[in-house]
């Protein structure tokens, strides 16, 4: 069984420990885009491996592979320099690989889809992810507005974990709104929809109700440490 981490925002390392895992248990890390709410614990995660390897040589026997948008290697290098740790460049025990449309890993495949996520008038390099394993599909929207990328990623998904930032009527180029989520999930024939990435100013139960206006399948609100069975 492979252990996969998708995005690494604030508090990820704490939640990883609460779930009973160590960083050394991870096989793969996937980053959907570089915004800090999705990456702020990524360099600390890297430093966990780097420091243990430095002070306890041989204590880490497995290093994960990091996948992400074009420039992930530079992102980590720049972060290392900004924090004056200079621990990233030249070490190389963690592979850092830019996304390709299809990534074949062991007995499963990951398909990546560019999506629209324009924040503060800047078009972010953002992706939706589709994991295909043993005739099952698990899709993650990442942060995205309504676009063909997220529709393709979620097609016939057994589980679709979806950005639920805005209420219906708030049409934009940053995030999906609740009406769009319902429409996309119905069009894509999603079997189970899990809503996440809630903003505190919007009532979650209201957002769920608005999603259900356009989608009649199972809808769940994501909670920390949830276990979802396929």
- For the entire predicted model, the pTM comes to 0.96
Residue 1: pLDDT band by 50, 70, 90 thresholds? confident
The reply to whether 1-99 and 100-222 are identical in fold is yes
What are 14-54's pLDDT values in tens digits?
A: 999 999 999 999 999 999 999 999 999 999 999 999 999 99
CATH superfamily of 1-99: Ribonuclease Z/Hydroxyacylglutathione hydrolase-like (3.60.15.10)
Q: Please provide residue 76's backbone torsions phi and psi, each rounded to the nearest 5 degrees.
A: -70, -40
Residue 120: pLDDT band by 50, 70, 90 thresholds? confident
CATH code for the domain defined by 100-222: 3.60.15.10
Domain residue spans in the chain? 1-99, 100-222
């Amino acid at each position: 069984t492979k252990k996969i981490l998708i995005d690494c925002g604030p508090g990820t390392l704490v939640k990883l420990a609460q779930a009973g895992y160590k960083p050394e248990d991870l096989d793969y890390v996937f980053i959907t885009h570089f915004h800090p709410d999705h990456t702020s614990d990524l360099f600390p995660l890297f430093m966990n491996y780097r420091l243990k390897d430095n002070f306890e040589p041989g204590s880490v026997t497995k290093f994960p592979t990091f996948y992400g948008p074009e420039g992930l290697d530079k992102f980590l290098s720049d972060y290392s320099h900004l924090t004056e740790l200079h621990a990233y460049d030249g070490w190389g025990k963690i592979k850092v690989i830019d996304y390709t449309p299809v990534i074949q890993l062991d007995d499963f495949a990951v398909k990546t889809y560019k999506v629209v996520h324009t924040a503060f008038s800047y078009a972010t390099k953002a992706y939706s992810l589709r994991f295909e394993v043993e005739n099952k599909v698990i899709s993650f929207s990442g942060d995205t507005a309504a676009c063909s990328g997220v529709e393709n990623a979620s097609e016939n998904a057994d589980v679709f974990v979806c950005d639920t930032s805005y209420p219906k009527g708030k049409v934009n180029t940053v995030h999906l709104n609740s009406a769009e989520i319902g429409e996309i999930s119905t069009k894509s024939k999603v079997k189970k929809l899990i809503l996440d990435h809630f903003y505190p100013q919007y009532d979650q139960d209201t957002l769920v109700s608005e999603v259900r206006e356009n989608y009649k399948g199972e809808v769940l609100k994501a909670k920390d440490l949830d276990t979802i069975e396929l």
